[in-house]
Amino acid sequence: MSKILIVEDEEDLAVQVCDWLTREHHTVEHVANGTEAVDHLAVSKYDVIILDWLLPGLDGIQVCRKYRSMGGKTPILMLTAKSTVEDKEIGLDSGADDYLAKPFHLKELSARVRALVRRTSTSSTTILEAGSIVLDPVARTVTKNGAAIHLERKEFNLLEFLMRNANKTFSAEALLDRVWESGSLASPDAIRTYIKSLRKKIDNPGEQSMITTVHGVGYKLESPDV
């Protein structure tokens, strides 16, 4: 699961890309102009940015340069109908990490996204383990002592994030930012509700929860495997 920002003003294409990546279990957000993209990037964190070159307001090159000047490190996949070597050079020199010419197949887009995620992650496909809990991010399965556990989509995404960042503490607001869509009406109370639900499903009765509350700070998943 990755959090992806799509910046694309072609409505039909944007809908196709959003639907495709959502079906692949990513958290996807979409904006249709460069100015709005910069505003989103200033306040929210993403794992990948899919950025069209030709946009109203600021174009993709301007967005890319501005984001990098702000210290942004998230990998950027540039989309454009421009396909000359010179155009690719401009896109990559502006700070993009990869380049995909239109028209493209959605399967290739997915492959490019996975490659970018791998560059900045230990591995988006690695099986995650914490005690008796095993999470497969590709098959979207979770087992406890070998028995399957059913998790709702948000529960799965939250557990995956905590397992990838085991023994690190995150505030409820930080978890909302990393797991929920920006602008979501969800509040820190939603995080508490999902944490409570996860504890019921992954913890052993009578034992201390794997997901601990650090009072006044937030939550962390304690794993002896990290």
Q: What is the spatial distance between Cα 49 and Cα 3, in angstroms, rounded to a whole number? A: 9
Share of the chain above pLDDT 70, in %: 93
47: its two tokens:
């794992």
With bands split at pLDDT 50, 70 and 90, how would you rate the model's confidence at 197? Answer: very high
Tell me whether residue 2 is exposed, middle or buried, using C-beta atoms within 10 angstroms of its C-beta: 0 to 12, 13 to 18, 19 or more.
Answer: buried
Residue 207 DSSP SS3: coil
Answer yes or no: is pLDDT of 125 > 60. Answer: no
Beta pairing partners, 148: 143
Answer yes or no: is pLDDT of 74 > 70. Answer: yes
The structural architecture, per CATH, of the domain 3-120 is 3-Layer(aba) Sandwich (3.40)
Residue ranges of the chain that CATH labels 3.40.50.2300: 3-120
Verdict on whether the full-model pTM lies above 0.85: no
Residue ranges of the chain that CATH labels 1.10.10.10: 128-221
Answer yes or no: is pLDDT of 123 > 80. Answer: no
Q: Which CATH class is domain 128-221?
A: mainly alpha
